[in-house]
Amino acid sequence: MAMKTNKGKEALFTEINITPLTDIFLVLLIIMMVVAPTFQSNDTSITVPEINSGISIEQRNATVAVTKEGKLYLNGNPTSEEKLTEELVALKPSLEKPELVVKADERVKSAKIMEIMNAAQSAEYKKLIVAGEPLSKKEQKELKQKTSPAT
DSSP tag of 149 = P
Indicate if 128 and 71 belong to the same structural domain.
yes
DSSP tag of 123 = T
- Flag whether 61 is in a domain: yes
Structural domain containing residue 13: 2-34
75-90 in b/e burial notation, b at 16+ Cβ within 10 A? eeeebeeeebbebbee
Residues 85/119, Cβ–Cβ less than 8 Å: yes
Indicate if 12 and 54 belong to the same structural domain.
no
- Flag whether 74 is in a domain: yes
Indicate if 20 and 86 belong to the same structural domain.
no
- Flag whether 50 is in a domain: yes
Mean pLDDT, the chain, integer: 76
- Flag whether 140 is in a domain: no
Give the whole-angstrom CA distance, residue 108 versus residue 111. 8
Indicate if 58 and 126 belong to the same structural domain.
yes
Query: Which amino acid, residue 52?
Result: N
**Average pLDDT of span 41-58:** 56
Indicate if 8 and 49 belong to the same structural domain.
no
**Average pLDDT of span 37-50:** 60
- Flag whether 58 is in a domain: yes
Of the chain, the percentage scoring pLDDT greater than 90 comes to 8
Burial class (CB in 10 A: 0-12, 13-18, 19+), 50: middle
Indicate if 6 and 53 belong to the same structural domain.
no
Indicate if 73 and 121 belong to the same structural domain.
yes
Q: Is residue 27 very low, low, confident or very high in pLDDT (cuts 50, 70, 90)? A: very high
- Flag whether 141 is in a domain: no
Number of folded domains that form the chain: 2
Please give the model's pTM, rounded to 2 decimal places. 0.54
Tell me the pLDDT tens digit for each residue of 102-122: 888 778 888 888 899 899 898
Indicate if 54 and 112 belong to the same structural domain.
yes
- Flag whether 10 is in a domain: yes
CATH no. for residue 115?
A: 3.30.420.270
Q: Is residue 22 very low, low, confident or very high in pLDDT (cuts 50, 70, 90)? A: very high
**Average pLDDT of span 136-143:** 62
